Amino acid sequence: MSGLPKKNFNRKKACKFCTDKEMAIDYKDYKTLDLFLSERFKIVPRRISGNCAYHQRQLTMAVKRARSLALIGYSPTLE
Amino acid sequence: MQTRNYETVFITNPMAPEAKVSELKARVNQIIEASKGRVINWDDWGKRKMAYPIRKEHKGHYFCFTYSADNKGVAELERNLRINEDVFRFLTVKLDEKVDPLQAIQAFKTRLEAHAKREKERAERDAERAAQRAQVRRPEEYAPAPGDQGPEDEE
């Protein structure tokens, strides 16, 4: 192959919950959940966050629980 | 009847009188005891801002408690919370059997503390940086910038 080295686009991201033992998924811990929400309060997809399927499933559940308890919003508030 | 561990979070009206809230708490305790369970831990998160208004209130009084009960106890508890007018929302979660509830609560609290600590550190760091920036910028503001000394028409 000639030219510039090809950029590796499929670099494997590590699941944060698998690598960091301190982190846990809990619907009450809205500050951790906040790390996985977009600007519009959407859940960041696995393809972006790099979470594993197991933890992404748990995260989704936790975010939805936290939303119903008004710990995190469904959408950014208009102010 | 087999008992299991559950955790319930409920939000009450922040305007509700103290007496009504403690009455509700007593009621909850009574129901749990009646179902041969016990309250393992009772936490009052206090009145805090909600992410969105519920029943036109911006604040809510949060309670979170862990307990053991049978399924009928949980149903009775939820029925009571549903009837009570001061309760905005509630959520009951079945806890993992393999995890000790007290340990889980402790872990949750230490995580909260870690968040608070990190936030405090960040606020301090931001304040420090803002102060530094202000110091650096000030001399520039008063000194005339190069090339800004009027039109160059000396010919």
Kindly state the average pLDDT of the residues B16-24: 91
Asked whether the predicted pLDDT for residue B99 surpasses 90, the reply is: no
Domain ranges of chain B: 4-96, 99-138
> Touching check for A48 and chain B: CB below 8 Å?
no
What is the C-alpha R_g of chain A?
16
What's the CATH superfamily of B4-96? Ribosomal protein S6/Translation elongation factor EF1B (3.30.70.60)
The model's pLDDT over A36-79, given as tens digits with 9 standing for 90+, comes to 999 999 999 999 999 999 999 999 999 999 999 999 999 987 65
What pLDDT is attached to residue B10? Answer: 94
> Rounded to whole angstroms, how far apart are CA atoms A72 and A43?
12
**Residue of chain A with shortest Cα separation from B108:** A29
Whether A8 is covered by a domain: the verdict is: no
Query: Which two structure tokens, joined as six digits, stand for B132?
Result: 């530094």
The model's pLDDT over B37-70, given as tens digits with 9 standing for 90+, comes to 889 999 999 999 999 999 999 999 999 999 999 9
pLDDT-derived band at B153, boundaries 50, 70, 90: low
Q: B89 with B54: CB under 8 angstroms?
A: yes
Whether A25 is covered by a domain: the verdict is: yes
Whether A1 is covered by a domain: the verdict is: no
Whether A54 is covered by a domain: the verdict is: yes
Question: Best interface-test mutation with B: which of A31, A69, A74, A75 has the largest number of B CBs within 10 A?
Answer: A69
> Rounded to whole angstroms, how far apart are CA atoms B9 and B43?
9
For chain A, the domain total comes to 1
Question: Best interface-test mutation with A: which of B7, B66, B93 has the largest number of A CBs within 10 A?
Answer: B93
Q: How many residues does this entry show for chain A?
A: 79
> Touching check for A31 and chain B: CB below 8 Å?
yes
Per DSSP, A75 falls in state S
Whether A74 is covered by a domain: the verdict is: no
User: Out of B9, B52, B108, whose CB is closest to A73?
Assistant: B52
Q: Between B71-83 and B18-34, two packed helices, what is the crossing angle to 10 degrees?
A: 160
Range of the domain at A61: 16-68
A62: left (phi over 0), alpha (psi -120 to 50) or beta: alpha
What pLDDT is attached to residue B37? Answer: 87
> Rounded to whole angstroms, how far apart are CA atoms B96 and B80?
25
For CA atoms B13, B17, B18, B23, give the dihedral sign.
negative
> Touching check for B116 and chain A: CB below 8 Å?
no
User: Out of A24, A27, A70, whose CB is closest to B50?
Assistant: A70
Partners of B13 on chain A (C-beta within 8 Å) are: none
Partners of B89 on chain A (C-beta within 8 Å) are: 68-70
Whether A4 is covered by a domain: the verdict is: no
| Strand ranges across the sheet with B57-69 | B38-54, B57-69, B4-12, B87-94
Q: B104 with B95: CB under 8 angstroms?
A: yes
